[in-house]
A and B are shown apart, each in its own frame.
Chain A
């Protein structure tokens, strides 16, 4: 149990520190790298919770795909000119405002809930009985049956987003020669195929 606690504090500590670094480093690329570090540690927290499937999906989707694109875009920026130190201070009031709102919400929630730790139950199986099933099986058995509507809806939203971004970026340019592989393969009689004997060579 102690080891679990220690790993929890390790992961959450690294998450906190690296999240702080995300907003405090000068270099945007470093920010993205710290963001990735905090994603990875969040995956570690999932593993402690025995949610290994979620942990792996978090890494594959967020770290392996989304954050790569983040990094791509940020790397292309000419960040040396984009940082203006005078302007950083002007965001502090807004930041404090947002922080106050969050803390107020937290306090409201904590006051209104009867916060008795002994009564709180973390329900591992709110729907059906998952005993004896692995993580992946359990998620699959609920996701494609009870939550099929939400699953399909999110799929449709993603599809719309994908088509939208393709439509926005697609442009036909005039006078560009494109390679049509099937046409190249259809060409006959233009090439001689010669069986070259090993070590003998071929007459040209």
Chain B
């Protein structure tokens, strides 16, 4: 056993270090994203937004976090307490786990696995369990309806996200995220696959329960949806999980369509800037779009949401898969043929 410990101690320690290297910037990113979200929302509505705590209100989010930490964790009497507490942990853990394969620069990635995009797809399809478990274990009507809505919504939009990913994969010929980015050296995929870019963006909004698709937590109907019974730290875990998922979807949009860490044009002053700066800029830009959509689009009705997912996006993305593969086949452009 001692030799085993010696062999693997350093390896395990480096992996833990890498995990911290992912987790700490992610945490900072979530704090900034929360702040930006509120500021942009306020600016659209001609309000000031958070501006009291710290310079320009920058410390508002950490202050809110502190407040949540000191709040009491309330466990509802009729709830299934184990599942009730596991649910937010699962949500947060899954949302962080997906970041393990996201490349921020050429070669800068924790796990450069061959099936990277499938891994992210699998992990994000697991995300529905946190919500379902939370809704069921709360033993209350509003969380339950919120969870049912959320699960149905996520399962529906996953289908079209899957087909959009397939169209991109057809142009790349690999499931590896790094290779997906490198395939965009000549042209970012949002130019030839523009309709799919739009479908992916809207589906990403629905997948992360962002407005205008935030039916699961529609406060006018369901109080706070599946989070209704949560307070204190478990609530913060949900909140963080949700925002890390949003950032993940921004990163996915960047990697699949906006060329990842590649500069817009491969000329001197632009390609001297390190790749992760481009990556960050693009993720920030996509998040800005997310925040703007939240600010000025009214909430969908639930049947409209389902109609959009199944009757508009599914046929459209299916058609796109057929069309893309036909074009690639006839013009002999398909990679690996």
Contact = CB atoms under 8 A, between A and B. Distances in A.
B114 A64 contact: no
Contacts, number: 64
Nearest to B312: A181
Interface stretch (A54-62, A116-124, A142-150, A186-194): A54-62
3 pairs of A and B residues whose beta carbons are closest in the complex:
A64-B125, A56-B118, A59-B122
A68 B151 contact: yes
Interface of B: 4, 7-8, 46, 80, 83, 113-115, 118-119, 121-122, 125-126, 128-129, 132-133, 136, 144, 148, 151, 155, 158, 175, 303-304, 307, 336
In terms of DSSP, what is the predominant structure of the interface of chain A?
helix
A72 B126 contact: no
A60 B303 contact: no
A65 B136 contact: no
In terms of DSSP, what is the predominant structure of the interface of chain B?
helix
Contacts of B7: 2
A3 B113 contact: no
A181 B307 CA distance: 10
10 contacts: A2-B4, A56-B115, A60-B125, A63-B122, A63-B126, A68-B155, A72-B132, A75-B136, A136-B115, A199-B46
Contacts of A179: 303-304
A53 B115 CA distance: 7
Nearest to A57: B118
Nearest to A52: B115
A135 B115 contact: yes
Given A59-B126, A60-B125, A68 B114 contact: no
Contacts of B151: 68, 72
Given A29-B136, A52-B115, A56-B118, A136 B125 contact: no
A13 B184 CA distance: 44
A36 interface: yes
Most buried by A among B122, B125, B148, B307: B122
Contacts of A136: 114-115, 175
A33 interface: yes
Most buried by A among B115, B121, B133: B115
Nearest to B46: A199
A134 interface: yes
Nearest to A53: B115
Contacts of A64: 122, 125-126, 128, 158
Interface string A98-141: 00000000000000000000000000000000000011110000
B148 A33 contact: no
Nearest to A178: B303
A51 B113 CA distance: 12
B114 A63 contact: no
A196 to B, nearest CB: 13
Given A2-B4, A64-B158, A134 B114 contact: yes
Contacts of A52: 113-115
Contacts of A199: 46
Contacts of A33: 83, 133
Contacts of B148: 72
A180 B129 CA distance: 34
Nearest to B136: A75
Contacts of B113: 52
Given A33-B83, A63-B126, A134-B114, A56 B158 contact: no
Contacts of A181: 307
A68 B129 CA distance: 8
A172 to B, nearest CB: 17
A71 interface: yes
B216 to A, nearest CB: 14
A71 B303 CA distance: 22
Nearest to A60: B122
Contacts of B136: 29, 75
